[in-house]
């Protein structure tokens, strides 16, 4: 990003002499950007029409004759800013002078005038902020851009479906909730004892690296609040295009609810793998399994104990010896029905671990039959990979500022969450199309930004061309060239 040329400091900065040479710094470098990689991202966006798709979910009530920036330009500038690492609209008061971002947004008159050519914070704020006192945005003086929430939610699923050339045989939908700490008086924020703070509790649904749902919720609701509604919505959209794809719903024990499981069971080709809390009945039915795990552990412990006794004194701490012995792990599935909450018997897989730390239980309820998958495979291969979703949420919050919900109204904070989510969709598209089968094919959004987006470059302009001259020491030149060729090969989306 470059500073406003009209406000630059023309006085050189002296860093003294080093080995007889005076070191000076100034701000007369001209058109230089630290964000040259945004041109790659914008080219991919142009091919896939990601921001254009979401821009179509907004109703623009402004007078066309007075517009300098379309809704698409405003949305793209805000999303590109988030991808570049600028979390607030305030950042755009300087970012609006950046020549690389101007090229990405096809505002190519930046070399004709020293004045800003991109939208500033006040203009961008009209896109994402709507005071709760405004009921009819077409009648508002300052906030006349209206989002259509249903269309935005649908666009996430549509982009996911279009990312596949042919319907997959199976997909897994991962559900989870996280905390979004707030530090003001935001509408809908409450104190949550579990998260130990005032926060929101957004609900996410991913399919692998693809984001399907980012729903902002108050933190005083049930952890599964809205999950069934979102599943019904997105599975219905998926089924319109993919009739035979097997859909597996996966989540932690917060989602082991009768309505969610019953919905999956009634849907043809729908299954679930959901954790559930233990209870006295499940412990009682696992008595034999506990004995087997305990006996196996003791058998493995005995020769180690004898060896330690022969080498060391009898006073050696037995607890330290026990830690050297691997835990004994056993799996078993049973058919179980709760006394009141479940309408039918369901398969429950129990994992029993016995070791130096004592006894540990885990349970997973599933609609997948034993003939299709064994208890150990169900737990280790189907359920445990659910933890990978945590990395996607971390990317959302740590790298793309999804927790920057600092406006007053709940509606505006939901829109901010969606803006971060759009930035994630764009970065995921770059990871897939540009970095696939490269050493950084599984890099996080933060790593992609650092290595491929935050590129220092000098931008020179002539009558016939604009040249972006990136540093010769750029460490990922070859991968950037590969990404460029792949992006150019993508056919334009109509």
The residues, any chain, with a CB within 8 Å of residue 325's CB and separated by 6 or more, are 297, 300, 301, 304, 355, 356
The CATH number covering residue 171 comes to 3.30.420
Q: Are residue 137 and residue 165 in the same domain, yes or no?
A: no
With beta carbons less than 8 A apart as the criterion, state whether 122 and 56 touch.
no
Residue 296 to residue 288: CA distance in whole angstroms: 12
Domain assignment present for residue 426? The answer is no
Q: What is the per-residue pLDDT for 372? A: 93
Q: Are residue 263 and residue 286 in the same domain, yes or no?
A: no
pLDDT surpasses 60 at 380: yes
Q: Are residue 208 and residue 94 in the same domain, yes or no?
A: no
Higher pLDDT, 461 or 482: 482
Which percentage of the chain shows pLDDT scores above 70?
90
Phi and psi for 329 in degrees, rounded to 5?
Answer: -120, 130
Domain assignment present for residue 409? The answer is no
pLDDT surpasses 80 at 1: no
Q: Are residue 157 and residue 43 in the same domain, yes or no?
A: no
Domain assignment present for residue 417? The answer is no
Domain assignment present for residue 376? The answer is no
Predicted TM-score (pTM) of the model is: 0.90
CA 56 to chain CA centroid, nearest Å:
22
Q: What is the per-residue pLDDT for 114? A: 57
Among residues 375, 399, 423, which one ends one of the domains? 399
Q: What is the per-residue pLDDT for 3? A: 46
Number of domains in the chain: 3
Domain assignment present for residue 493? The answer is no
Residue 286 to residue 382: CA distance in whole angstroms: 21
Structure tokens at 276: 């559930």
Domain range for 326 is: 280-367
First-to-last C-alpha distance (Å) of the chain: 32
Domain assignment present for residue 406? The answer is no
The residues, any chain, with a CB within 8 Å of residue 332's CB and separated by 6 or more, are 286, 289, 349, 350, 352, 375
Mean pLDDT of the chain: 90
Over residues 275-318, the pLDDT tens digits come to: 999 999 999 999 999 999 999 988 888 887 777 666 665 555 66
pLDDT surpasses 90 at 377: yes
Q: Are residue 115 and residue 169 in the same domain, yes or no?
A: no
CA angle (307, 311, 315) in 5-degree steps: 95
Q: Are strands 170-177 and 203-207 parallel, antiparallel or unpaired?
A: antiparallel
With beta carbons less than 8 A apart as the criterion, state whether 306 and 255 touch.
no
Over residues 469-480, the pLDDT tens digits come to: 998 888 999 999
């Amino acid at each position: 990003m470059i500073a406003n040329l009209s406000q630059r400091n023309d006085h050189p900065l002296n860093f003294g002499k080093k080995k007889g040479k005076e070191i000076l710094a100034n701000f007369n470098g001209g058109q230089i950007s630290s964000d040259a990689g945004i041109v790659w991202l914008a080219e991919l966006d142009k091919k896939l029409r990601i921001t254009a798709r979401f821009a179509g979910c907004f109703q623009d009530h402004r007078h066309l004759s007075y517009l300098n920036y379309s809704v698409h330009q405003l949305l793209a500038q805000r999303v590109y800013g988030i991808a570049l690492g600028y979390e607030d609209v305030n950042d755009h008061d300087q970012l609006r002078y950046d020549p690389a971002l101007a090229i990405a947004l096809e505002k190519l008159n930046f070399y004709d005038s020293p004045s800003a050519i991109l939208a500033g914070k006040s203009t961008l704020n009209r896109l994402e902020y709507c005071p709760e006192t405004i009921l009819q945005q077409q009648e508002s003086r300052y906030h006349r851009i209206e989002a259509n929430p249903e269309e935005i939610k649908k666009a996430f699923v549509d982009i996911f479906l279009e990312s596949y050339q042919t319907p997959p045989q199976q997909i897994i939908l991962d559900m989870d909730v996280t905390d979004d700490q707030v530090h003001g008086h935001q509408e809908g924020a409450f104190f949550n004892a579990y998260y130990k703070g005032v926060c929101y509790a957004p609900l996410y649904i991913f399919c692998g690296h693809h984001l399907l749902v980012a729903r902002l919720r108050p933190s005083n609701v049930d952890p599964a609040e809205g999950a069934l509604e979102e599943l019904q919505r997105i599975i219905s959209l998926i089924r319109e295009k993919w009739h035979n794809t097997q859909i597996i719903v996966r989540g932690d024990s917060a989602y082991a609810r009768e309505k969610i499981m019953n919905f999956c069971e009634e849907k043809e080709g729908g299954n679930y793998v959901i954790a559930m809390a233990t209870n006295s009945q499940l412990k009682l039915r696992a008595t034999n399994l506990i004995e087997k795990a305990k006996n196996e552990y003791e058998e493995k412990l005995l020769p180690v104990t004898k060896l330690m006794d022969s080498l060391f004194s009898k006073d050696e701490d037995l607890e330290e010896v026990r830690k050297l012995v691997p835990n004994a792990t056993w799996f078993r599935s049973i058919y179980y029905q709760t006394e009141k909450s479940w309408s039918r018997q369901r398969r429950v897989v129990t994992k029993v671990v016995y070791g130096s730390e004592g006894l540990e239980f885990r349970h997973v309820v599933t609609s997948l039959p034993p003939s299709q998958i064994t208890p150990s495979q169900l737990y280790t291969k189907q359920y445990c990979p659910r933890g990978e979703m945590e990395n996607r949420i971390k990317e959302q919050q740590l790298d793309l500022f999804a927790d920057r919900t600092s406006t007053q109204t709940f509606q505006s904070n939901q829109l901010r969450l969606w803006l971060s989510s759009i930035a994630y969709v764009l970065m995921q598209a770059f990871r897939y199309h540009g970095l696939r089968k490269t050493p950084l094919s599984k890099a996080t959004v933060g790593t992609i930004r650092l290595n491929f987006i935050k590129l220092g470059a000098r931008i020179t302009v002539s009558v016939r061309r604009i040249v972006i001259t990136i540093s010769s020491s750029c460490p990922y030149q070859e991968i950037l060239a590969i990404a460029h060729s792949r992006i150019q090969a993508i056919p334009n989306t109509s």
